[in-house]
Structure 1
Amino acid sequence: MGVYGPSAISGYVYDPGDGNYFVGHRRWILYPQSKNLGTGDIPPSPGYAPANALWVFDTANMWGPRPDTREAYIAWPPPGYVPYQVVYPRWSFAYDDADFSGATVTMSKNGSPLSLTVNTVVDGFGENTLVWEPNDTFSSAPSVDVAYQVTINNVVIDGSPQSFTYVVTMIDPGS
């Protein structure tokens, strides 16, 4: 409620608010098996607030085999160059059937350690996902590219603990 059009999809990926700490909307939008998604809008009109509805349950493909993706995981923001406008306060890392109960996350910003808070793991929305909130500000354009290194340790996959490291480079596409 209160948002429609392209900003509604951005809002789902942002997933703000206390009740969205596990980023369920984002997880369904980025779920690799989804091929058919739908969205509908009601723009503002007298007596009615704008609204958006999102349909993600593509029953023809949703429970099928996981397709190949660039990485074996789905991260937001993803590794590589990312415009600052879509680097949100909650970061996430999803891996199909992973056990994140003992996982840890560390981050650095241009080589300096960055503190963060790991949110409670909630499975059952798309792929299993770890969500954390770095103690940094992402709302303004950086004057130079900012490299965030993310390391996630003790992700249990098929009974074996694994580690992942990747770099997100936040950029200002207007510069």
Structure 2
Amino acid sequence: MREMEESSKVLTAMSRYPITHLRIHFPDEHVIQASFKPTDLVADVINFLRPFLACPTADFSLSTRHPHRTLSPSTTLVAADCVPNARLYYEGLPADPPFLSEDTLAKKSSYSGACSSLNSMNTTKTRPLGISSKGHTLSEPSSSSSSSRRKEEALDLGTRPNASDSRMTGTVPKVPKWFKVGK
């Protein structure tokens, strides 16, 4: 019965989610995000990452956290419970940065660029999530991305109309029709 339930779960996930979105986190806080098919192997993800590494011949593995599991290269993404999306973590040598090649780091995008790419993917649904024309999207380390996110939020807050603005100009703010004032 358990095997049947597991195979049912796998088939349901494969039919519901034709694309798996992965974010591979590196110890130096860089992230590569890409899309794969649920039937792809973890070895396919490893082979996809090799050209972007500073040392493509180095041995490394991918793991998940919470719970911590090192993924076997012969496991499919659906069997590794990476469908519809997952965060994977790079574990390997060299232990010191840089983990990504200079070419790859030169092509990285900003946090806001990655978010706008994700938003356009979600609205159009024509391209797989996180895939650019080169097949990958890189984003900045999270420390700078959080500061850029805060800057964007501050800009958004600065452009929003306030109630004090309407008092200064004398305009009456719009009130929904269903809202009865004074009752």
Given the two structures, how large is their TM-score scaled by the length of structure 1? Answer: 0.28
| Structure with higher RCO (Cα < 8 A, 6+ apart) | 2
Between structures 1 and 2, the one with greater helix share: 2
Between structures 1 and 2, the one with greater strand share: 1
